Protein backbone atom coordinates (compact mmCIF):
# COMPACT_ATOMS: atom_id res chain seq x y z
CA UNK A 1 0.00 0.00 0.00
CA UNK A 2 1.26 3.41 -0.95
CA UNK A 3 -0.52 6.56 0.10
CA UNK A 4 -1.38 8.64 -2.97
CA UNK A 5 -2.81 11.71 -1.32
CA UNK A 6 -2.90 13.16 2.16
CA UNK A 7 -4.32 16.57 2.95
CA UNK A 8 -5.05 18.46 6.13
CA UNK A 9 -8.76 18.31 6.84
CA UNK A 10 -9.39 20.13 10.13
CA UNK A 11 -8.36 20.79 13.71
CA UNK A 12 -10.85 20.09 16.48
CA UNK A 13 -10.93 21.03 20.14
CA UNK A 14 -13.57 18.42 20.91
CA UNK A 15 -15.04 15.27 19.53
CA UNK A 16 -18.22 16.89 18.17
CA UNK A 17 -16.11 19.17 15.97
CA UNK A 18 -14.40 16.19 14.32
CA UNK A 19 -15.36 15.30 10.72
CA UNK A 20 -18.85 13.81 10.42
CA UNK A 21 -18.49 11.82 7.21
CA UNK A 22 -17.98 8.47 8.96
CA UNK A 23 -14.73 7.52 7.26
CA UNK A 24 -12.61 5.06 9.24
CA UNK A 25 -9.72 6.56 11.16
CA UNK A 26 -6.40 5.62 12.71
CA UNK A 27 -4.97 7.80 15.47
CA UNK A 28 -1.33 8.48 16.35
CA UNK A 29 -0.24 9.48 19.81
CA UNK A 30 2.84 9.50 22.03
CA UNK A 31 4.89 11.60 24.40
CA UNK A 32 5.91 15.04 23.15
CA UNK A 33 8.96 14.85 20.93
CA UNK A 34 8.64 11.09 20.32
CA UNK A 35 8.85 11.67 16.57
CA UNK A 36 5.13 11.57 15.74
CA UNK A 37 5.11 14.36 13.17
CA UNK A 38 8.16 12.93 11.44
CA UNK A 39 6.53 9.49 11.30
CA UNK A 40 3.27 10.87 9.87
CA UNK A 41 5.22 12.75 7.22
CA UNK A 42 7.19 9.62 6.36
CA UNK A 43 4.10 7.41 6.09
CA UNK A 44 2.15 9.84 3.93
CA UNK A 45 5.14 10.96 1.89
CA UNK A 46 4.05 14.58 2.42
CA UNK A 47 6.95 16.51 3.79
CA UNK A 48 5.38 19.07 6.10
CA UNK A 49 1.93 17.58 6.58
CA UNK A 50 2.28 17.32 10.36
CA UNK A 51 4.19 20.19 11.91
CA UNK A 52 7.25 18.93 13.70
CA UNK A 53 7.80 19.97 17.31
CA UNK A 54 4.88 22.31 17.92
CA UNK A 55 5.40 24.52 20.95
CA UNK A 56 4.62 22.51 24.07
CA UNK A 57 2.23 24.14 26.51
CA UNK A 58 0.21 25.74 23.77
CA UNK A 59 -3.37 24.55 23.47
CA UNK A 60 -3.25 21.52 21.27
CA UNK A 61 -5.89 20.14 18.99
CA UNK A 62 -6.99 16.94 17.31
CA UNK A 63 -5.78 17.12 13.71
CA UNK A 64 -7.51 15.16 10.96
CA UNK A 65 -5.73 14.41 7.68
CA UNK A 66 -7.76 12.93 4.84
CA UNK A 67 -5.83 10.12 3.16
CA UNK A 68 -6.66 8.82 -0.33
CA UNK A 69 -10.18 10.19 0.16
CA UNK A 70 -10.81 6.97 2.07
CA UNK A 71 -9.71 7.34 5.68
CA UNK A 72 -8.46 9.80 8.26
CA UNK A 73 -5.08 9.80 9.84
CA UNK A 74 -5.56 11.52 13.19
CA UNK A 75 -2.75 13.34 14.93
CA UNK A 76 -3.47 13.55 18.64
CA UNK A 77 -1.56 15.97 20.87
CA UNK A 78 1.40 14.51 22.76
CA UNK A 79 1.42 13.76 26.46
CA UNK A 80 4.02 13.61 29.19
CA UNK A 81 5.63 16.98 28.71
CA UNK A 82 6.82 18.00 32.17
CA UNK A 83 6.56 21.77 31.75
CA UNK A 84 2.89 21.84 30.79
CA UNK A 85 0.71 23.47 33.50
CA UNK A 86 -1.92 21.32 35.25
CA UNK A 87 -4.80 23.18 33.64
CA UNK A 88 -3.45 22.30 30.18
CA UNK A 89 -2.90 18.71 31.24
CA UNK A 90 -6.50 18.44 32.42
CA UNK A 91 -7.70 19.86 29.10
CA UNK A 92 -5.54 17.39 27.22
CA UNK A 93 -6.90 14.50 29.31
CA UNK A 94 -10.51 15.42 28.69
CA UNK A 95 -10.18 16.13 24.99
CA UNK A 96 -8.07 13.06 24.27
CA UNK A 97 -10.05 10.56 26.31
CA UNK A 98 -13.40 11.90 25.09
CA UNK A 99 -12.07 11.26 21.61
CA UNK A 100 -10.50 7.85 22.32
CA UNK A 101 -13.50 6.49 24.21
CA UNK A 102 -16.33 7.89 22.11
CA UNK A 103 -15.14 8.23 18.54
CA UNK A 104 -17.15 5.58 16.72
CA UNK A 105 -15.07 5.58 13.55
CA UNK A 106 -11.75 5.08 15.33
CA UNK A 107 -10.35 1.69 14.30
CA UNK A 108 -6.89 1.69 15.81
CA UNK A 109 -4.51 3.73 17.90
CA UNK A 110 -0.80 3.68 17.19
CA UNK A 111 1.10 4.52 20.35
CA UNK A 112 4.60 5.81 19.67
CA UNK A 113 7.42 5.00 22.05
CA UNK A 114 10.99 6.29 21.85
CA UNK A 115 13.24 3.27 21.44
CA UNK A 116 16.15 4.98 23.20
CA UNK A 117 14.75 5.18 26.68
CA UNK A 118 13.81 2.79 29.47
CA UNK A 119 10.08 2.13 29.98
CA UNK A 120 8.37 5.35 31.07
CA UNK A 121 5.48 5.44 33.50
CA UNK A 122 3.55 7.91 31.32
CA UNK A 123 3.66 5.50 28.36
CA UNK A 124 2.80 2.44 30.43
CA UNK A 125 -0.08 4.19 32.21
CA UNK A 126 -1.47 5.49 28.95
CA UNK A 127 -1.26 2.11 27.22
CA UNK A 128 -2.79 0.36 30.24
CA UNK A 129 -5.81 2.67 30.13
CA UNK A 130 -6.26 2.05 26.40
CA UNK A 131 -6.22 -1.69 27.09
CA UNK A 132 -8.66 -1.43 29.98
CA UNK A 133 -11.08 0.33 27.68
CA UNK A 134 -10.78 -2.22 24.91
CA UNK A 135 -9.21 0.17 22.43
CA UNK A 136 -7.23 -1.60 19.70
CA UNK A 137 -3.60 -0.53 19.67
CA UNK A 138 -0.25 -1.14 18.06
CA UNK A 139 3.01 0.10 19.48
CA UNK A 140 5.47 1.94 17.28
CA UNK A 141 9.04 2.27 18.48
CA UNK A 142 10.58 5.38 16.96
CA UNK A 143 14.10 6.69 16.23
CA UNK A 144 15.52 3.25 15.63
CA UNK A 145 18.54 4.84 13.91
CA UNK A 146 19.60 6.44 17.20
CA UNK A 147 20.49 3.17 18.95
CA UNK A 148 22.63 0.15 18.21
CA UNK A 149 20.53 -2.85 17.19
CA UNK A 150 21.21 -4.75 20.42
CA UNK A 151 20.40 -1.80 22.63
CA UNK A 152 17.16 -1.24 20.72
CA UNK A 153 16.22 -4.90 21.17
CA UNK A 154 16.97 -4.69 24.87
CA UNK A 155 14.80 -1.61 25.30
CA UNK A 156 11.94 -3.21 23.35
CA UNK A 157 12.15 -6.33 25.52
CA UNK A 158 12.18 -4.25 28.71
CA UNK A 159 9.14 -2.33 27.51
CA UNK A 160 7.22 -5.50 26.60
CA UNK A 161 8.22 -7.02 29.92
CA UNK A 162 6.73 -4.01 31.73
CA UNK A 163 3.56 -4.27 29.63
CA UNK A 164 3.17 -7.94 30.55
CA UNK A 165 2.01 -6.91 33.99
CA UNK A 166 -1.19 -5.58 32.43
CA UNK A 167 -1.57 -7.53 29.19
CA UNK A 168 -2.14 -11.25 28.60
CA UNK A 169 -1.54 -10.93 24.91
CA UNK A 170 1.07 -8.33 24.06
CA UNK A 171 0.17 -5.83 21.37
CA UNK A 172 1.97 -6.12 18.05
CA UNK A 173 4.72 -3.58 17.52
CA UNK A 174 6.71 -1.89 14.79
CA UNK A 175 10.25 -0.59 14.82
CA UNK A 176 10.70 2.59 12.80
CA UNK A 177 13.03 5.39 11.87
CA UNK A 178 11.84 8.45 10.00
CA UNK A 179 15.47 9.28 9.42
CA UNK A 180 16.21 5.95 7.68
CA UNK A 181 12.62 5.53 6.48
CA UNK A 182 12.44 2.10 8.09
CA UNK A 183 9.23 0.43 9.17
CA UNK A 184 7.20 2.28 6.56
CA UNK A 185 6.29 -0.72 4.39
CA UNK A 186 5.29 -2.78 7.43
CA UNK A 187 3.11 -0.05 8.91
CA UNK A 188 1.40 0.75 5.61
CA UNK A 189 0.75 -2.97 5.10
CA UNK A 190 -1.11 -3.13 8.38
CA UNK A 191 -2.96 0.13 7.73
CA UNK A 192 -4.17 -1.24 4.40
CA UNK A 193 -5.50 -4.33 6.16
CA UNK A 194 -7.21 -2.29 8.85
CA UNK A 195 -8.81 0.25 6.54
CA UNK A 196 -9.61 -1.70 3.40
CA UNK A 197 -10.50 -5.18 4.70
P1 LIG B 1 6.70 15.05 17.77
O2 LIG B 1 6.81 16.13 18.77
O3 LIG B 1 6.38 13.74 18.41
O4 LIG B 1 5.84 15.36 16.60
O5 LIG B 1 8.19 14.79 17.21
P6 LIG B 1 8.93 15.35 15.90
O7 LIG B 1 8.54 14.54 14.72
O8 LIG B 1 8.74 16.81 15.83
O9 LIG B 1 10.44 14.96 16.26
C10 LIG B 1 11.06 15.44 17.42
C11 LIG B 1 12.55 15.50 17.15
O12 LIG B 1 13.06 14.18 16.93
C13 LIG B 1 12.92 16.31 15.92
O14 LIG B 1 14.11 16.97 16.18
C15 LIG B 1 13.10 15.25 14.84
O16 LIG B 1 14.01 15.63 13.85
C17 LIG B 1 13.66 14.09 15.64
N18 LIG B 1 13.28 12.79 15.05
C19 LIG B 1 12.04 12.37 14.77
N20 LIG B 1 12.06 11.12 14.24
C21 LIG B 1 13.35 10.74 14.18
C22 LIG B 1 14.02 9.55 13.73
O23 LIG B 1 13.44 8.56 13.28
N24 LIG B 1 15.39 9.54 13.84
C25 LIG B 1 16.10 10.60 14.34
N26 LIG B 1 17.41 10.47 14.42
N27 LIG B 1 15.50 11.72 14.77
C28 LIG B 1 14.13 11.80 14.70
- pLDDT at residue 148, as a whole number: 97
pLDDT band at 147 (very low <50, low <70, confident <90, very high): very high
Q: Which of 100, 113, 107, 119 lies closest to 72 in space, CA to CA?
A: 107
- The reply to whether ligand 1 has any atom less than 6 angstroms from the CB of 31 is no
Closest to 133 in 3D by CA, of 106, 165, 112: 106
12 lines ligand 1 (CB under 6 A): no
Q: Would residue 53 count as lying in a domain?
A: yes
Q: Is the CB of 37 under 6 A from ligand 1?
A: yes
Does 72 fall in a domain? yes
135 domain-assigned = yes
Using the mean position of ligand 1's atoms as its centre, give its distance from the Cα of residue 77 in Å: 15
Output the CA 35–ligand 1 centroid distance in Å.
Answer: 4
Q: Is residue 1 part of a domain?
A: no
Domain-embedded: residue 82: yes
The pLDDT value given to residue 76: 95
The string of pLDDT tens digits covering residues 34-49 is: 999 999 999 999 998 9
| pLDDT at residue 57 greater than cutoff 60 | no
Query: Residue 60 above 90 pLDDT?
Result: no
| Residue 163 within a domain | yes
- Supply the range of the domain harboring residue 131: 6-196
Any bridge partners for residue 175, and if so which?
141
* 182 part of a folded domain: yes
Q: Where are the beta strands (DSSP E) in 106-182?
A: 106-114, 137-142, 173-175
pLDDT at 169: 85
Is 71 inside any structural domain? yes
CATH number for 153: 3.40.50.300
Residue of higher predicted confidence among 14 and 54: 14
CA separation for the pair 99, 101 (Å, rounded): 6
Supply the pTM of this predicted model: 0.95
Position 54 scores a pLDDT of: 54
Closest residue by CA, ligand 1 atom 24: 143
Domain tally, the chain: 1
- Give the mean pLDDT of 109-116: 98
Mean pLDDT of the chain: 93
Ligand 1 lined by 67 (C-beta under 6 Å): no
ipTM: 0.99
- Region 131-151: mean pLDDT is 96
**Ligand 1 closest atom vs CA 144:** 23
Amino acid sequence: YQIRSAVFSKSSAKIDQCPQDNLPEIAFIGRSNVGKSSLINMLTGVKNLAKTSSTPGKTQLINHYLVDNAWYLVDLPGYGYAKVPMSEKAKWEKMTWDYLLDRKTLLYVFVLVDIRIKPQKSDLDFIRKLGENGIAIKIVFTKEDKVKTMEGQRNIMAFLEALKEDWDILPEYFVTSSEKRSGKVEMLGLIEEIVFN
